[in-house]
Structure 1
Amino acid sequence: MKRIDIAYVVCCLVLICIICCNDMKSSSKPLVEQKIDSLLKLMTLEEKIGQMTQIIHFEKSAEESVTSKFLGSIIHTQGPLPGETALEWQNKFIALQKKALSTRLGIPLLFAVDAVHGQNTYEGATIFPHNIGLGATRNEKLVENIARITAIESQATGFNWVFSPCVAIPFNEKWGRVYEAFSESTEFTTKLTKASIKGHQGNLKDPTTVMATAKHFIGDGATDFGVEGGNTSLNAAEINDRLLAPYRVAVNEGIGAVMASFNKIGNVSMHANKALITDTLKVGMNFNGIVVSDWKGYSRFGGNDIVNAGVDMIMAVDGDLEFFQNGLKNGVKDSTVSIARIDDAVKRILRQKYRLGLFKNPFPDTSLVTKVGSKEHRKIAKQAVRESLVLLKNKDKTLPLSKETKKIVVVGEHANNSGLQSGGWTINWQGTKESYKGATTILDGIKQQAKGEVVYDSTATQNHFDADVAIIMVGETPYAEFMGDVGHESNQLKLTLSETHQKYIKIYQEKGVKTVVVLVSGRPLVVTNQIEKSDAFVAAWLLGSEGDGVAEVLFGDSNFSGKLPHSWPKSVEDFKGKYGPNFWDKTIKPLFPYGFGLTY
């Protein structure tokens, strides 16, 4: 009897130990992860695939699809607007969110937008200099503040997810997205990446912050000959040394999403590159967030291959919704896609929704609408304009200009057009060639600063040769991805100024008028001749909405402090090979090196 009792007691103790150990294992898992596991167990395959799906809010049957297709995310892009006012934008997305919450499991939506230099899709928002200009400021705290403001104005218009920052390392100025990147320097890009993520994300449960996205993984700016979506022929060691550091710091900062790139690595589509997406990013860097595809990634880059490679959320846009959902469902049925891969993707998506606090507070704060385009925000944007300007030449101390100058002629259409001064991804995808609401122009600022006569000669045809100084504005017309590549069939873009803009400068120089040239561009251009013949030359990049900040530096209220974030080419011959002059290639001597910039 005693032996039986002892055996019984021992068995009980062993059972208790097993139960306790299991309880300890369960309790050792963070509460959010326990919630994710519990929710995942309740989900059907259709609901899981739905969470992996992202569509545009104005697509046909979008509202019905939120509930019938169990969608995980909605994006806004070029097309019909959600409304006229910020509150109307919020209300549109609140209505869609309510539909999502009415589904069986009530999983909230993520709302995403390409807010790459402010909430640039909303007219009236504060629009900052593009990243190339922010790189010229070398001001990490400023970049953090700009990201914080972008988050506020994005939430104010209904978004909790932004596709920013772009952390590419451009190797060739022919690439049409050079301006989206901070710098050709990996080290400096990494510093600004950290600052940007801090500003965007902050405390993610705070209604003024958003989920950020590091993009585009990986090699987007390092393609051969600067072709958008082309092949990146760097080897593994070069990718590690030159391109991965910003992503490492992004993961360390807890970034919520990483976007896959259009380009290929060694002729393998990045969207389908399991070695880099899963092995390097997810496993090697311990990234636990969402890998999101780029535009129509499923249909363009391999269907279920991209899911197996590690892409978690698919932009099933422009007719891809049924194709993606049916294709992935069939992949699970025929075992070409494992349910474990599906579960991993859904866990990552749910994790970010919990991090954002969407299960407790799924709606935007309506009080934030008053913050859009506020004076406080525009003040920071103007500071960014001032600090981004790079002085390349200043013969005989031409600058700063005296406010008492008797007559100033301002030349060129870029001087009086906020659309032209802002570049692509401004109001429209490819930018706008017209002024937009709430912005100031460079000419506005000059008129405010100068006490003498200011005349505007938009096309250099009015012959104001009696002027004491000509401020000549030249540059590129707005462009964005693909269409912005020099050599792309859709455009006539060159790495030099147009003949018309070269003529603007030449007309006033040949008449002996002192010339101050201000270049508005998304990349360094070959302007060696124009620099040589000018009295002063300023690289102003793409300014955003606060163009009047330029005049504050030209007239000496502030000194020049910007430094080149890219090497400056001296000749179109510099671009005969795969890359232009850059931080890594010492064989091509630039006209001005990375980090160059004069002061008064």
Structure 2
Amino acid sequence: MSGFMKENKQIVNKLSTGLLLLVILSLGISISCTKESEEAIIEQKVATLLAKMTLDEKIGQMTQIRHFDEFSPEDIKSGSVGSIIHTDGPTPGNTAEEWQARFIELQKQALDSRLGIPLLFGVDAIHGQNTFEGATIFPHNIGLGATQNAELVEEAAGITALEMQGTGFNWTFSPCISIPYNEKWGRVYEAFAESTELTREFTKASVKGHQGNLSDKTTVMATAKHYVGDGSTEYGKEGGNTTLSIQEVSKRLLPPYRDAVNAGIGAIMVGFNYLSGISMHAHKPLITDTLKKGMNFDGIVVTDWKGYSRFGKNDVINAGVDMVMAVDGDMDGFQKGLKAGVENGSVPMTRIDDAVRRILRQKFRLGLFDHPFPDTTLTKKIGTEKHRAKARQAVRESMVLLKNNDKTLPIPTDAEKIVVVGEHADNTGLQSGGWTIRWQGVSRNYEGATSILTGIKEMAEGKVAYDTTGTGVHADADWAIIVVGEKPYAEFFGDIGDERGTCSFTLTEKHKAYIEAYNKKDIKTVIVLISGRPLVVTEEIAESDAFVAAWLPGSEGDGVAQVLFGAYNFTGKLPHSWPVSVEDFNGKYGPNFWNEEVNPLYEIGYGLSYQDFKKNDN
């Protein structure tokens, strides 16, 4: 740390604290370490630091770039960067220690700048620290929505935050609090439910779990996304147009954001979508007037990927966006374009100061000026058995039993022979979905995870055969557990009907053949569906003896097996209504929101359980 920076930091601390003490003493107020007094100290520190900054340094604070290939150390040392993001691409290292070391190196460069302002390190940790192989991966949010358990959501967020800090991050782009109104949308699994009330409850739990005491080194800054209406576009198109009236937006979509703001969330990310033809990135009435003024949000509004260059450039800043993902070649164009806007008067200096004030405020709240580096001891807590046990609980509670004829389930542990069918049964990448290790997920087993098949073998005392391709050769089995579903996808690649993706409302012919190979034999057939949304499987449900919606369970596939064999009961309830046919979603929006005359196969909240069940307290 440079001598100038140390001296500057001491001046800021002494001046800001001294001014506050004078105010307090002059009013005869007793000094106590209250949240209000802490916030007042932070505001004075922010004001003092802001007054020392040049325009270039201010624009630097508004700049977020990737940790690879877009800058030199001099860019950070000159104060030209305010935040680093890790996305799909080269990893910071091979181990958690190497990840931390990379970010510590970058932080040291920032502290060596003229003003010594620390960096924020962000990542899309949306169901665990899912970018690090070996971390604990929880069920995606749709599965957490099925648990109906807000306390569990809070605990999962807390573990995610700790494992993020263990890899060097202090900012997560989570939770997604969108409310999907058409299952064609490729991000349905990132949202908790199609219910506004359930989303509100889990939003508060997630923010509390991630942020906790924000300056504590085991918590991180959370981000509510994507503001607003991204789950409610016509035909479920990613980045499409949301044609709800402002009254419907206020009633159905804004309440979770109000709750997030009231819970003290540190950041909100704007969406790719348009609202009645206006880009949300440039929607000043909703960003500045509604969010910042109406809800009193004092945190950071951040763009989504390349949001500045894609959605109006300086119009985005004037609308109220504070930090820009200036990624993938955008850094130079953003910084020069914004500086030119300030110099020609098209972007008010007050708008720049508001943005930087919000960024500095959160850095002070995170305690980064006093403790800029991650706790190196936390690397040992990544993927611990304690964390995995909590994720396993989440898997168990997320599973929804849709059908159970003649008490097919639970499967007796002493069954003589069980055949497990399908590639999803023994592939932790397939069972985890998108945003797992890579942006679009992986189709392989990854470190530290347990497959569904492994869990079944642990539970069963008799013979377990594995029929990867559904040949049907194990006709002597007593039970067939057929695991089918979607392949991993993320964002627009998951949109049903999008030419860039391969997703469908129905199972593939190959997976249908798996079921056909066993359901006509004298074998009890259990279908386990791995999916990020309800699919049209009306015929497959009819053909099965038992049918389970397991969503995208994450790294702990043995949790699925524990419920199938009756070590734990089914408690999950549908967070979405379940469609009867593809035609249910031919309209702009799904039947649950727009057309009450369309009767779903199962209502939201549906879910069976075992009768005469003895609770497992282990």
TM interval, shorter chain, is over 0.9
Partner in structure 2 of residue 454 of structure 1: 464
Q: Deviations over 1:305-335 (max 9, x none)?
A: 0000000000000000000000000000110
Aligned-residue offset at 1:68: 3.2
CA distance, structure 1, for counterparts of residue 25 and residue 544 of structure 2: 76
Partner in structure 1 of residue 504 of structure 2: 494
Name which of 300, 325, 343 aligns with 1:290: 300
- Once the two structures are superposed, the pairs formed by residues 183-194 of structure 1 within 5 Å of their partners are 183-194=193-204
Aligned-residue offset at 1:50: 0.2
Q: Deviations over 1:576-595 (max 9, x none)?
A: 10112325642321100000
CA distance, structure 2, for counterparts of residue 111 and residue 227 of structure 1: 30
C-alpha contact 2:450 2:557 (8 A) present in aligned 1:
yes
Name which of 475, 483, 503 aligns with 2:493: 483
Aligned-residue offset at 1:511: 2.4
Please tell me whether residue 95 in structure 1 is matched to residue 105 in structure 2: yes
Partner in structure 2 of residue 201 of structure 1: 211
Partner in structure 2 of residue 557 of structure 1: 567
CA distance, structure 2, for counterparts of residue 504 and residue 433 of structure 1: 19
CA distance, structure 2, for counterparts of residue 271 and residue 66 of structure 1: 26
2:426 maps to a residue whose letter is: N
Q: Deviations over 1:45-103 (max 9, x none)?
A: 00000000000001233433212352110000000010011011000000000000000
CA distance, structure 1, for counterparts of residue 595 and residue 316 of structure 2: 33
Given the superposition, is the C-alpha separation of residues 248 and 296 from structure 1 closer, same or farther in structure 2, using an over 3 Å criterion?
A: same
1:433 maps to a residue whose letter is: S
Please tell me whether residue 249 in structure 1 is matched to residue 259 in structure 2: yes
Q: Deviations over 1:123-154 (max 9, x none)?
A: 00000000000000000110000000000000
Name which of 443, 447, 450 aligns with 2:453: 443
Partner in structure 1 of residue 609 of structure 2: 599
- Once the two structures are superposed, the pairs formed by residues 160-175 of structure 1 within 5 Å of their partners are 160-175=170-185
Partner in structure 2 of residue 71 of structure 1: 81
2:131 maps to a residue whose letter is: T
Please tell me whether residue 226 in structure 1 is matched to residue 226 in structure 2: no
Name which of 148, 153, 163 aligns with 1:153: 163
Aligned-residue offset at 1:21: 12
Please tell me whether residue 309 in structure 1 is matched to residue 319 in structure 2: yes
Name which of 336, 347, 350 aligns with 2:360: 350
C-alpha contact 1:168 1:221 (8 A) present in aligned 2:
yes
Name which of 371, 374, 379 aligns with 1:369: 379
Larger radius of gyration: 1
C-alpha contact 1:116 1:164 (8 A) present in aligned 2:
yes
- Once the two structures are superposed, the pairs formed by residues 467-482 of structure 1 within 5 Å of their partners are 467-482=477-492
5+ residue gaps, structure 2: 1-21, 32-36, 611-618
Given the superposition, is the C-alpha separation of residues 517 and 40 from structure 1 closer, same or farther in structure 2, using an over 3 Å criterion?
A: same
Identity of aligned residues (%): 66
Match of 1:399, SS?
Answer: coil
1:492 maps to a residue whose letter is: T
Aligned-residue offset at 1:22: 13
2:103 maps to a residue whose letter is: F
Match of 1:483, SS?
Answer: helix
Please tell me whether residue 581 in structure 1 is matched to residue 574 in structure 2: no
Given the superposition, is the C-alpha separation of residues 484 and 510 from structure 1 closer, same or farther in structure 2, using an over 3 Å criterion?
A: same
5+ residue gaps, structure 1: 1-18
Match of 1:75, SS?
Answer: strand
CA distance, structure 2, for counterparts of residue 64 and residue 375 of structure 1: 42
Name which of 140, 144, 149 aligns with 1:134: 144
Given the superposition, is the C-alpha separation of residues 558 and 367 from structure 1 closer, same or farther in structure 2, using an over 3 Å criterion?
A: same
Partner in structure 2 of residue 420 of structure 1: 430
CA distance, structure 2, for counterparts of residue 262 and residue 520 of structure 1: 27
Partner in structure 1 of residue 513 of structure 2: 503
Aligned-residue offset at 1:177: 0.2
C-alpha contact 2:492 2:501 (8 A) present in aligned 1:
no
2:608 maps to a residue whose letter is: L
- Once the two structures are superposed, the pairs formed by residues 22-37 of structure 1 within 5 Å of their partners are 30-37=40-47
1:133 maps to a residue whose letter is: G
Bigger Cα displacement from structure 2, 507-516 vs 436-445: 507-516
CA distance, structure 2, for counterparts of residue 251 and residue 311 of structure 1: 16
Aligned-residue offset at 1:168: 0.4
C-alpha contact 2:78 2:114 (8 A) present in aligned 1:
no
Match of 1:540, SS?
Answer: strand
Name which of 402, 411, 414 aligns with 2:421: 411
Given the superposition, is the C-alpha separation of residues 20 and 594 from structure 1 closer, same or farther in structure 2, using an over 3 Å criterion?
A: closer
Aligned-residue offset at 1:522: 0.3
Q: Deviations over 1:252-311 (max 9, x none)?
A: 000000000000000100000000000000000000000000000000000000000000
Please tell me whether residue 38 in structure 1 is matched to residue 55 in structure 2: no
Aligned-residue offset at 1:23: 7.2
C-alpha contact 2:200 2:256 (8 A) present in aligned 1:
yes
Name which of 208, 220, 245 aligns with 1:235: 245
CA distance, structure 2, for counterparts of residue 63 and residue 178 of structure 1: 39
Name which of 339, 345, 349 aligns with 1:329: 339
Please tell me whether residue 514 in structure 1 is matched to residue 524 in structure 2: yes
Bigger Cα displacement from structure 2, 37-46 vs 58-67: 58-67
CA distance, structure 2, for counterparts of residue 24 and residue 117 of structure 1: 48
Please tell me whether residue 548 in structure 1 is matched to residue 574 in structure 2: no
Match of 2:363, SS?
Answer: helix
Partner in structure 2 of residue 108 of structure 1: 118
Given the superposition, is the C-alpha separation of residues 583 and 376 from structure 1 closer, same or farther in structure 2, using an over 3 Å criterion?
A: farther
Partner in structure 2 of residue 12 of structure 1: none
CA RMSD of aligned residues (A): 1.6
Partner in structure 1 of residue 226 of structure 2: 216
Q: Deviations over 1:238-265 (max 9, x none)?
A: 0011000110010000000000000000
CA distance, structure 2, for counterparts of residue 111 and residue 584 of structure 1: 41
Name which of 59, 65, 69 aligns with 1:59: 69
C-alpha contact 1:474 1:501 (8 A) present in aligned 2:
yes
Partner in structure 1 of residue 269 of structure 2: 259
Given the superposition, is the C-alpha separation of residues 384 and 584 from structure 1 closer, same or farther in structure 2, using an over 3 Å criterion?
A: farther
Match of 2:318, SS?
Answer: helix
Partner in structure 2 of residue 3 of structure 1: none
Match of 2:142, SS?
Answer: helix
Aligned-residue offset at 1:510: 2.2
C-alpha contact 1:215 1:261 (8 A) present in aligned 2:
yes
C-alpha contact 1:568 1:581 (8 A) present in aligned 2:
no
CA distance, structure 1, for counterparts of residue 574 and residue 73 of structure 2: 47
CA distance, structure 2, for counterparts of residue 489 and residue 95 of structure 1: 42
Match of 1:593, SS?
Answer: coil
C-alpha contact 2:79 2:113 (8 A) present in aligned 1:
no
1:264 maps to a residue whose letter is: Y
Bigger Cα displacement from structure 2, 457-466 vs 321-330: 457-466
Match of 1:582, SS?
Answer: helix
CA distance, structure 2, for counterparts of residue 86 and residue 583 of structure 1: 44
C-alpha contact 1:467 1:513 (8 A) present in aligned 2:
yes
- Once the two structures are superposed, the pairs formed by residues 527-542 of structure 1 within 5 Å of their partners are 527-542=537-552
CA distance, structure 2, for counterparts of residue 528 and residue 62 of structure 1: 56
